[in-house]
């Protein structure tokens, strides 16, 4: 038993798509989350830059005495996972291998689509990881950076959201895929719009497999939170915490949390 919190980070609101699954699957765990809105968006930054930002956040999360860190950001996972695993004295997991694994576990997965930020697509992170696990599948990757801002600025459910999804993912109407990995934590919040466009495609949210991995690791090391002690959820934004608060009220309905601004150096 280990009642220390799990640390989670993302460039912004997207991390809430991972936290909502954590709340479902690991309801007794305490969570400390940093949304790096002060340096958003990550998808157009260099790998070095994103790695540096993620490492600073990891070090900040350590000040909360976390027992594990989840990089709930595909762009940051692609840019920094090995570095954070080396530099931080706690287990660190990312979302890309779980996302790839989940796609390959779907009954039909010969043609796998991936949509993510420019940075994740440029890094080739998903095709590389998927082909390490199964070299025989076809992977079609498409960056969809404009979809990130739709979620970040709380425009999900608007006609504009559907229009941007249609523009960004229309390619998958011509190039058929069996499954589509939502390889950016912001995108699961656009599942409805994406399914409207691609009704026959199975959408894969890497969050489910990521949380399964975290739970397995905590179980193996006997580090799950006990069931009696109250858990807490602390949300921090390096930018405008009000946007994170509005997002959390929308995407984590009924959950109790605190939400504050925090300064974490970007350089
Ligand atoms: N939500 C992040 C991801 O999973 C990055 C979005 C961005 O900041 O560009 O990749």
Quote the ligand 1 centre to 72 CA distance (angstroms): 9
- Residue 257's SS3 state is coil
- The pLDDT value recorded for residue 129 is 98
Q: Does the beta carbon of 117 sit less than 6 angstroms from any atom of ligand 1?
A: yes
Is the predicted pLDDT of residue 166 greater than 90, yes or no?
yes
Integer Cα distance of 19 and 93 in angstroms? 14
- The pLDDT value recorded for residue 114 is 98
| β-bridge partners, 259 | 235
Q: Does the beta carbon of 15 sit less than 6 angstroms from any atom of ligand 1?
A: no
What are the residues whose beta carbons fall under 8 Å from the beta carbon of 137, sequence distance 6 or more?
104, 109, 110, 111, 112, 130, 131
Which sign, positive or negative, has the C-alpha torsion 63, 68, 69, 72?
negative
Q: Probe ligand 1: pick from 73, 150, 266, max atoms within 8 Å of CB?
A: 73
Quote the ligand 1 centre to 191 CA distance (angstroms): 16
18's tokens: 């991972």
Dihedral of the CA atoms 64, 67, 73, 75 (nearest 10)?
Answer: 100
Quote the ligand 1 centre to 13 CA distance (angstroms): 9
Q: Does the beta carbon of 17 sit less than 6 angstroms from any atom of ligand 1?
A: no
Integer Cα distance of 226 and 211 in angstroms? 17
Q: Probe ligand 1: pick from 9, 11, 16, 118, max atoms within 8 Å of CB?
A: 11
Integer Cα distance of 7 and 18 in angstroms? 12
- The pLDDT value recorded for residue 253 is 92
- The pLDDT value recorded for residue 213 is 97
Q: Does the beta carbon of 72 sit less than 6 angstroms from any atom of ligand 1?
A: no
**H-type alpha helices, the chain:** 15-25, 47-62, 74-87, 96-104, 118-123, 125-133, 145-152, 159-169, 171-174, 191-197, 206-220, 241-251
Is the predicted pLDDT of residue 267 greater than 70, yes or no?
no
The rounded mean pLDDT for the chain is 96
Query: Average pLDDT in the 134-163 region?
Result: 96
Contact 142, 114 (CB under 8 A): yes
User: What is the model's pTM?
Assistant: 0.96
- The pLDDT value recorded for residue 228 is 77
Q: Probe ligand 1: pick from 119, 184, 189, 204, max atoms within 8 Å of CB?
A: 184
Residue written as token pair 């990521």 = 210
DSSP states of 117-132: -HHHHHHTHHHHHHHH
Is the predicted pLDDT of residue 143 greater than 80, yes or no?
yes
- State which ligand 1 atom lies nearest to the alpha carbon of 120: 10
Residues designated as active site: 73, 184
Contact 37, 244 (CB under 8 A): yes
DSSP states of 37-98: GGG---TTS-HHHHHHHHHHHHHHHHTTT-SEEEE--HHHHHHHHHHHHHHSSS-EE-SHHH
Query: Average pLDDT in the 134-149 region?
Result: 97
pLDDT one-digit tens code per residue, 21-50: 999 999 999 999 999 999 999 999 999 999
Please state, as a whole number, how many other Cβ atoms lie within 10 Å of the Cβ of residue 120: 29
Instruction: Take atom 9 of ligand 1 and give the residue whose Cα is closest.
Output: 43
Contact 102, 211 (CB under 8 A): no
pLDDT one-digit tens code per residue, 218-262: 999 999 998 877 889 999 999 999 999 999 999 999 899 999 999
Q: Does the beta carbon of 210 sit less than 6 angstroms from any atom of ligand 1?
A: no
């Amino acid at each position: 038993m280990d009642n220390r919190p799990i640390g989670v980070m993302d460039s912004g609101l997207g991390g809430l798509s991972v936290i909502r699954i954590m709340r479902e699957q690991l309801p007794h765990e305490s969570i400390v989350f940093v949304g790096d809105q002060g340096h958003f968006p990550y998808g157009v930054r260099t790998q070095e830059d994103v790695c540096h930002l993620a490492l600073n956040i990891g070090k900040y999360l350590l000040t909360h005495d976390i027992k594990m860190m989840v990089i709930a950001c595909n762009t940051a996972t692609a840019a920094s996972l090995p570095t954070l695993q080396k530099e931080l004295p706690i287990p660190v997991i990312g979302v890309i291998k779980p996302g790839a694994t989940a796609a390959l576990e779907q009954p039909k997965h010969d043609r796998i689509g991936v949509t993510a930020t420019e940075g994740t697509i440029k890094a080739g992170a998903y095709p590389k990881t998927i082909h390490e696990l199964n070299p025989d599948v076809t992977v079609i990757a498409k960056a969809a950076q404009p979809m990130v801002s739709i979620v970040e600025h709380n425009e999900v459910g608007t006609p504009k959201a559907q229009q941007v999804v249609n523009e960004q993912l229309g390619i998958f109407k011509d190039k058929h895929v069996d499954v589509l990995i939502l390889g950016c934590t912001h995108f699961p919040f656009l599942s409805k719009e994406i399914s409207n466009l691609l009704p026959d495609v199975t959408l894969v949210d890497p969050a489910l497999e990521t949380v399964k991995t975290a739970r397995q690791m905590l179980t193996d090391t006997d580090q799950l939170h006990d069931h009696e002690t109250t858990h807490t959820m602390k949300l921090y934004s390096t930018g405008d915490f009000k946007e994170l608060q509005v997002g959390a009220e929308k995407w984590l309905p009924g959950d109790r949390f605190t939400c504050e601004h925090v300064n974490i150096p970007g350089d």
